[in-house]
A and B are shown apart, each in its own frame.
Chain A
Amino acid sequence: MLNPLFYIQAIVLALSQIWANKLRSILTMLGIIFGVWAVTTVVAALSGVTTMVLKEFEALGGSKMFIFPDRPDDAPRNKYPWSVIRLKPDELIALATNCPSIVAITPETNLGATIQHGERKREAVRVTGIWPDWHDIQKRATLIGRPFARVDEENARQVCLVNQDAISELGLDTDPIGQHILVRSRRFLVVGVVENRRETIFDRNVTGTEILIPFSTAVKLQDPQFFFMIIAKLKSPEVAAEAKAEARFVLRQARKLGPDEPDTFELFAADEFIAGVKRVSMVLTVGGGCVVAVSLLVGGIGIMNIMLVSVSERTREIGLRKAVGATPAAVLMQFLLEAIMLCLVGGVIGIAFGEATALALSKFPGANLQEAAVPWWAIVMSFSFCAATGVIFGMFPAIKAARLDPIEALRHE
C-alpha cells in the first residue's frame, strides 16, 4: 500500500509538471479539450432544444389531440376514396358526445376566400370555420367584442371574428364591432377581435389577416366534400392514451370498420410527439458520444505520446526515485496519475469552453436556445471519460517507467 501522502505529492507533482511545460501540455491536451468542448456544447444545445420544444409543446398542445382523415399505408386509392375517409360532421358529434377524456372539441376547416371591406380587397385570406369551444382550446383571447356562442353555430349566422392584423389590412376601425366585411361576396358582421397567433417554434408565420366564422356557416360556403380536422382538449396530458383509444373506438364504429381493417384516420396526441423528441435527442446525444469517443481516442494517442516523451526525458529522475526506495508500483502510479491529471485538466478546460459556448448560445438572439445548459450528467460523463482515457493511454508509458532498471536509468544521458 502506498502512503496517502504519496498520492498528494504525485498529483501536485503532475500539476507542476503540466504547468512547467504549459505550451506542450496545452498542445497535448488539444484533442481532449476539443472533444469535451464539442460534446458539452452539443449536449447543451440538444438539451436546450429538447426542453424548449417540450415546454412550448406542453404550453400549446400538451393536452390536445388532433384528428385527421388518413388513407392507410399501402392501401389502394380506390378502396379508400376521399369521400369515405374524410371526417364527417356526424363523426365530430359522435366524438364530442362519446369520449369521456375529451373536455372540449372543435373542428377546424380552412377556406381560402376573397375578402372585401369597402374598397379594400384581399385574395386567398385564411378563413377558418370553428365551434365555440375553439376559444377554450386555442386559448386566444378575445380583445374586443365577444367570442362565438352556441347560437352563432346553431343558426349558422353570418358573423365573424377578425384578428388584430385584419384591422389594419382591411382598413377596419380600431373597434370594428358592428362593421361588415364580404367573405365570398356574403356580408358578415364583425362581432369580435381575437389576438394574433402567438409565434412558436412550430408556427413562425403568424402574421396576416385571419377570419374566423362559425363551422356551420363555413360548411355552407364549401363544396360537400370539404376537409376539416378536429382538435380536442383532453382532461390532462396523462390521459392521452385513453383519449386516443376512445376516439379510435368511436370513429371505427362510426365508419363500421371490421376488426382486420386498418384505421382510416390519424390520431395525434402530444405524448407521441414528446416521446419522439426525446428519442431524437437521445439518438443525437449517443451520436455525439461516439464523436467524442473518437476525439478522445485521438487525444489519448497524443497523451500517450507525450507521456512516452516525459518518461524518456525523466529517465534519470525515475532512476533516482527507484534508488531512494520507489517501488515499481509507485513509479507506475506516479506516471499514471500524471496522464490522468493531463486528461482531467484538458477535460476541465473543455467543459469550461463548453459552458461558455452554452452560455453564448443561450444569449444568442433568435437561436431559440435560451434553455441551453450543460447538464450535470454530461460533466460527470466527460470527467469519467477523460480519466478513463488517462488510464488507458497512460498505462503503457507508466509500465515502461515502472520497468526501468534503476542503474540503466541513472546512467541515461
Chain B
Amino acid sequence: MIISTRQLCKVYRVGVERIHALRGIDLQIEPNEFVAIMGSSGSGKSTLMNIIGCLDRPTSGQYLLDGRDTSRIGVRDLARVRNQQIGFVFQSFELLPRMTALKNVELPLIYASGGWRARRRKAEEALERVGLGDRMHHRPNQLSGGQKQRVAIARAILNNPAILLADEPTGNLDTATTNELMEVFEQLHDEGQTILVVTHETHVAVHCRRTITLTDGLISSDISTSSKGDVGNGVRTVGRAIEGALGTPTAPTHRLKDA
C-alpha cells in the first residue's frame, strides 16, 4: 500500500464561513496503480491531491504514505518527502521561463544531494523517457504546450517518486496533444510508476485502470476497469459511474460545465 487514508477531512475557513472541502475520504492505492480522479468543480479533487502530495495537511483524519504517518513528519522532512517520494504535475506546467528544459528538469536535484554529473545524466534520462531527448536546451517559450507538460513530467519523475500526481495535466491542451501525453503516462505506468491523475475529461480517464469520483468532498464511486485496450467499455463504465455519482442521466462533461 503506497497511499492509505482514513477519514480524511479538510475544512477551509473563509471569514466566519467554514467550507468542508473533504468530508472523510478513505482511499487505498497500491503500487503501480493508474488512477483517475474525477468529479465536478469544487468537489475537492485538488484539495485531495495537495494532501496526498504533502503540499497541504488534512484538518483531521490520517494519511499514511508508504506506511508512514504524514502528520508526524516535520516541515523540513516533508520537503524531503516531496523531493524524493512525490512527483507533481500541474495544469499550468509551472516551468521556470528563463531556464532550459534540462535546467527545469534538474530543479528538484538542487534540493537533494548528488554531484553535477549524476545530476545531468539523471535529468537527460528523464527527458528521454518522456520523448524530449532532442529538446533539452530549449526554453519553455520555444516549446509547445504538450512539450512543456512533458518537461514537467520529466521533472516529476526525476527522483523516481513513489507516486506521480497530476492535477488536470491536460487541462490546457487540445485533444490530440492530450492523447499523446496520456501515452506518456501509459508508458510510465507500464514501467511500474504509480500514477494519480485528476481530470474532467472522460477520454483521459479511459487511459486509467481505476476511476474514483468525488462528490462534495466524498468518494461517490470507485470503479476499476480491466485494461487500457477496453476503451469503449471504459468510457461507458466511467460515464455510468459519473451519472450514478451525480444522479443525472445527462452527459458528464455537459454537467460539469454547468457546475
Interface residues, chain A, CB within 8 Å of chain B? 3, 5-6, 9, 16, 20, 316-317, 319-330, 406-407, 410
Q: Are A320 and B94 in contact (CB under 8 A)?
A: yes
Contact A410 B56 (CB under 8 A): no
B148-191 with Cβ < 8 A to chain A: 155
A20 CA / B97 CA spacing, docked (Å): 12
Please determine whether B96 and A317 come into contact, CB atoms closer than 8 angstroms.
yes
The residue in chain B whose Cβ has the minimal distance to the Cβ of A2 is B111
**Shortest distance from the beta carbon of A34 to any chain B beta carbon, whole Å:** 29
A319 to B79, CA, bound (A): 12
Task: Tell whether A9 pairs with B110 under 8 Å between CB atoms, given A320-B94, A407-B56.
Answer: yes
Closest to A3 in B: B113
Q: Is A5 a contact of B116 with CB atoms below 8 Å? A: yes
Which residue of A316, A320, A323, A327 has the most chain B CB atoms within 10 A of its CB atom? A323
Q: Interface digits, B87-112 against A, CB 8 Å rule (1 contact, 0 not)? A: 01010001010100000000110111
A320 and B111 contact, CB distance less than 8 A? no
Judge whether B111 and A324 touch: CB under 8 Å.
yes
Q: How many residues on B have C-beta within 8 angstroms of the other chain's C-beta atoms?
A: 27
Inter-chain contact A321/B107, CB cutoff 8 Å: yes
The residue from A3, A5, A327 contacting B79, defined by CB atoms under 8 A apart: A327
B111 close to A330 (CB less than 8 A): yes
Select one of A20, A316, A325 contacting B111, CB under 8 A.
Answer: A325
Q: Are A326 and B111 in contact (CB under 8 A)?
A: yes
Contact A327 B111 (CB under 8 A): yes
A-B contact pairs, 28 of them (CB 8 A): A3-B112, A3-B113, A3-B114, A5-B114, A5-B119, A20-B98, A316-B94, A320-B94, A321-B111, A322-B79, A322-B82, A323-B82, A323-B88, A324-B82, A324-B111, A325-B79, A325-B80, A325-B82, A327-B75, A327-B76, A328-B76, A328-B79, A329-B76, A330-B111, A406-B56, A407-B50, A407-B55, A410-B55
Evaluate whether A325 and B76 lie within 8 angstroms (CB atoms) in the complex, with A320-B94, A407-B50 already known: no
> Least Cβ distance of A413 to chain B in Å?
11
**B62 interfacial by beta-carbon distance below 8 Å:** no
Contact residues in B for A410 (Cβ distance below 8 Å): 55, 90, 94
Whether B110 and A5, one on each chain, are in contact in the complex, defined by CB atoms closer than 8 angstroms, is: yes
B: residues with CB less than 8 A from A are: 50, 53, 55-56, 75-76, 79-80, 82-84, 88, 90, 94, 96, 98, 107-108, 110-116, 119, 155
> Taking CB as reference atom, which chain A residue is nearest B79?
A327
What 3 A-B pairs come out closest when comparing CB atoms?
A325-B83, A324-B108, A325-B111
Q: How far is the CB of A81 from chain B (nearest CB, A)?
A: 86
Label chain A's interface by main secondary structure: helix
Contact A328 B111 (CB under 8 A): no
Asked whether B116 lies within 8 Å of A320 as measured between CB atoms, the reply is no
* Interfacial chain A residues near B98, Cβ < 8 Å: 16, 20
Residue from A3, A319, A322 with most neighbouring chain B CB atoms (10 Å): A3
The answer to whether A324 and B83 have CB atoms under 8 Å apart is yes
Bound-complex Cα distance A322 to B108 (A):
9
Closest to B76 in A: A327
Are A325 and B75 within 8 A (Cβ)? no
Known: A317-B96, A325-B83. 15 other contacts (CB 8 A): A3-B112, A5-B110, A321-B107, A322-B79, A324-B83, A324-B107, A324-B108, A324-B111, A325-B108, A327-B111, A328-B79, A329-B76, A407-B50, A410-B55, A410-B94
A409 to chain B: closest residue by CB: B55
Contacts of B75 in A (CB 8 A): 327-328
Bound Cα distance from A3 to B80, whole angstroms:
13
Which residue of chain A lies nearest to B84 when distances are taken between CB atoms in the complex? A325
Nearest A residue to B96 by beta-carbon distance?
A: A317
State A330–B96 Cα separation when bound (angstroms): 17
